[in-house]
Structure 1
Amino acid sequence: MSVTFTAALRPPVGYVVGCGCAEAVARAPRYGTYADAREAADRANAAPGTRRALPGCALPAVCPDYPLFADEVDPDGEVPCVNLSNANALGVLEALGLPVGGGGADADALEPGLPADVPDGTTVIPIVVVDAYGELPAPDFLARAVTALGLAPEDPGVPDLQVGCTLVGGRAPGYLQRRLLDLYGLAAWCAAHGRDVAWY
């Protein structure tokens, strides 16, 4: 589970059959409706034999091994996004002063102190649930990112934790500052394209 920050949606300018690579989407023929693109993708995926890599695919050696899919074409081309795991999103949202909408009392247990012991002696590894979503004008989001970068102490990181066969991934030192810089870049892109910043 994760939280994704990106530009607020705009109506698509067309639809393509693609593999997920930006250059392949840019070169792909346009369809007027999603249904037409989906039908074309289904035909391509059902065709016998091995298909060729799509023109512009960044991974031409493996492209033919995966199915194609219908996708929207954004009016601004490739839209940046920043994806965070729920555990990492919690700290970033708090640094930005945005509501987390979830988490619960056990959310902080993913920081030092894990695993949490309970009275009967069993071990509990909590799962962070973040139900965060929203939208802000890009200048407002930029201001929050700059403020968060100015106020955030150096992130010391959190080590991985393994309990039996369960691994809870940690966080590298400086993670918070790197992600805030990524979000600053996203907000700057949104501001340049006249779009709000959205997260969900």
Structure 2
Amino acid sequence: MTVTFTAAPRPPVGYVVSCGCAEATARAPRYGTYSDARLAADRASAAAGARQALPGCALPDVCPDYPLHADEVDPDGEVPFVEFSNTNAIGVLEALGLPFGGGEDVDALEPGLPDDVPDGATVIPIVVVDAHGELPAADFLARVLTALGLAPEDPGLPDLQAGNAFVGGRPAGYLQRRLLDLHGLADWCAARNRNVAWH
């Protein structure tokens, strides 16, 4: 599970058939409807024999082995995003002063795990994040700048392993680096008069 920050969606200006590579998507012919692009993608993926890589494909030796798909074309081109694991999202959302759950305890166990565990057993709590929202780019940037100004140097967290279960930690300075990524996203959105959204 992840939390992704990106620009708030705008109505698409067309649809393309793509492998997902940015340059291939930019060069692809446009379709007027999603269903037309979806049909074209299905036909190309089902064609007999190996298909050729799309023009502009960044991985021409790999992409032909995977099906094509229909993509929306954003009016501003390729839209940046910043993605966090649920565990790392908690610290970022706290630093930004944004809610990260529906009033639930963020250390709640993943649904389905028992409340009582047998002696000697280990249960690693899984953080459940229900974060979503949208802010004007200037407001979001103000939160990022405040977080950068107030946040002490992030010492990081070690990896946690118990038996076969493994939860990755984070390196020192992670929070500051990711806040700078969000600063870049906010600048991009502000330049295009778009809100910053997360989900």
* Identity level (%): 79
The equivalent of 2:41 in structure 1 is 41
The alpha-carbon deviation at position 121 of structure 1 amounts to: 3.8
| Structure-1-length-normalised TM-score | 0.92
Matches within 5 A, 1:47-196: 47-102=47-102, 104-106=105-107, 120-196=119-195
Instruction: Give SS of 2:187's match.
Output: helix
Structure 1 residue 122, shift from structure 2 partner: 2.3
Distance in 2 separating the partners of 1:69 and 1:49: 18
Structure 1 residue ranges (4+ consecutive) displaced by more than 4 angstroms after TM superposition: none
For residues 105 and 141 of structure 1, what CA distance do their matches in structure 2 show?
Answer: 23
Match of 1:114 in 2: none
Whichever residue aligns with residue 183 of structure 1, its letter is: L
| Residue identity matched to 1:161 | L
**Where does the alignment leave 5 or more consecutive residues of structure 1 unmatched?**
110-116
1:119 Cα deviation from its structure 2 partner: 8.0
Deviation at 1:61, TM superposition (A): 1.2
Q: Quick one: distance in 2 between partners of 1:120 and 1:90?
A: 30
Matched residue count? 192
**Distance across 2 between alignment mates of 1:124 and 1:152:** 31
State the TM-score, normalizing by the size of structure 2. 0.93
Q: Which moved more, 1:96-105 or 1:27-36?
A: 96-105
Do the aligned residues in 1 keep the contact of 2:14 with 2:33 (CA within 8 Å)? yes
Distance 2:162 2:122 in 1: 9
Equivalences for residues 14-29 of structure 1 within 5 A: 14-29=14-29
Q: Distance in 1 between matches of 2:168 and 2:154?
A: 16
Distance 1:91 1:165 in 2: 26
Q: Which residue of 2 aligns with 1:7?
A: 7
